[in-house]
Amino acid sequence: MTPQQLWIMSLVFASIAIGLMAAGLLWRVRRASQAQAQVEKILQTRETNVAGTPPFPIPGLGTTPAPGSKPGNEAASVADSIRPPAWLETGIAKALLADEDRKLLDQAGFDLPRGGLLYIVSRAVLAVCLPALALLILQPSGLKALLVGFIPFALGIMLPKWIVRSKAAKRRAQVVEELPLFVDLLRLLQGVGLSIDQSLQILASEFGSVLRVISTELTLANRLYNSGRTREQSLQRLSYLGADDDMNAVVNLLVQVDRHGGAVQEPLKEFSIRLREKRQASFKEKIGTITVKMTGVMVLTLLPALLVITAGPGFTAVIRSLSAMGGR
């Protein structure tokens, strides 16, 4: 057998092995979801038998039970949706989904059970299919086959991570843009006499059109808080989204006010002023950078036109005089 045929056979066997591992992971996920649904059904039935009627939401603001209360079915499902499943602790899952990748998935807005499974399967499939496709199209031989197989393999491993990192960077930039408006709206709602819980509920439900990323994270944080998590645990994902320490500072302020109480309007006002001054400084820095970049553009585009306009008549006069002297 030729080396190329050996490569193709090895890739076929590797793809079959990866397919079997993916099928095993899907089977584990299905079993875990079925067991979870059965447990939730049993707990819901027990709560209904004890309380008589299931919990119902408060109109306009949703359910706001105390942190020690029993979670409802929806809140428990949301809490379980961000909990890492058991199959993510296996060796292959840890190799293809490291801690950095899990943080990137959180920042990109994907949940670990579905997003992690899609991430691992995409890396495995691309790592096998891209080298096989490159070998079938180029048909190299010898050491060239190793190079042609390794480059698509590395590309297949890294391509999903680059896509997730790009989406996470866009969401962090969007959070930086939404943060001043979020602070101002929170200060406004606190000024009319609403509590922290009510303010966060209204920001999550009523301002989704202007706070696209923050409102989504606040919705998840409110459901986690209703399911029994503390305010610090429920806002942990939101603190990871900030490209700098500003969002982390706002989350720490909300946690301290929820834990110890106190007025929050004046700190939010000072923080809003500092955010706007910081944004103005960043705009000035960008303007200075654009000015430096435009200098090179002006040299490349305007300088030839200026030379033609200013030195063109002189050049034509010199050429005419030289041609006249040559004619004599």
pLDDT digits (tens, 9 = 90+) for 130-187: 888 888 888 777 778 788 888 888 888 889 889 989 988 888 888 888 888 888 888 8
Q: Are residues 158 and 178 in the same domain?
A: no
Q: Is the pLDDT of residue 221 over 80?
A: yes
Domain of 223, in residue numbers: 174-277
Residue 250: the pLDDT is: 83
For residues 186 and 161, give the distance between their C-alpha atoms in angstroms, rounded to a whole number: 35
DSSP string across 181-243: HHHHHHHHHHHTT--HHHHHHHHHHH-TTT-HHHHHHHHHHHHHHHTT--HHHHTHHHHHS-S
What CA dihedral angle connects 92, 98, 104 and 109, to 10 degrees? 40
On whether both 94 and 222 belong to a single domain, the answer is no
Tell me if 327 is assigned to some domain.
no
For the chain, give the number of residues. 328
pTM here? 0.61
Q: Is 268 contained in some domain?
A: yes
On whether both 53 and 180 belong to a single domain, the answer is no
**Any domain includes 211:** yes
How confident is the model at residue 61, as a pLDDT? 41
Domain boundary residue, one of 260, 277, 294 = 277
C-alpha–C-alpha distance, residues 33 and 318, integer Å: 87
Same domain, 151 and 193: no
Burial of 185 (0-12, 13-18, 19+ CB in 10 A): buried
- Kind and range of the H or E run holding 180: helix 143-191
269 within a domain of the structure (yes/no)? yes
pLDDT confidence bin for 55, thresholds 50/70/90: very low
User: Amino acid letter at 76?
Assistant: A
Query: Residue 288 pLDDT more than 70?
Result: yes
The answer to whether residues 154 and 222 belong to one domain is no
Beta carbons within 10 angstroms of residue 191's beta carbon? 12
- Are residue 169 and residue 180 in the same domain, yes or no? no
pLDDT band at residue 28 using 50, 70 and 90 as cut-offs? low
Instruction: Tell me whether residue 236 is in a domain.
Output: yes
- Tokens 């922290």 correspond to 196
Contact 152, 134 (CB under 8 A): yes
Specify the DSSP class assigned to residue 82: S
pLDDT top residue among 178 and 51: 178
Number of domains observed in the structure of the chain: 2
* pLDDT for 102 beyond 70: yes
For residue 49, pLDDT over 70 is answered with: no
- Reported as a single tens digit per residue, the pLDDT across 120-135 is 888 888 888 888 888 8
One-letter amino acid identity for 174?
A: Q
Most confident segment among 38-42, 77-81, 291-295: 291-295
Question: 212-226 and 143-191 helices cross at what angle (nearest 10)?
Answer: 80
- Identify whether residues 128 and 112 lie together within a single domain: yes
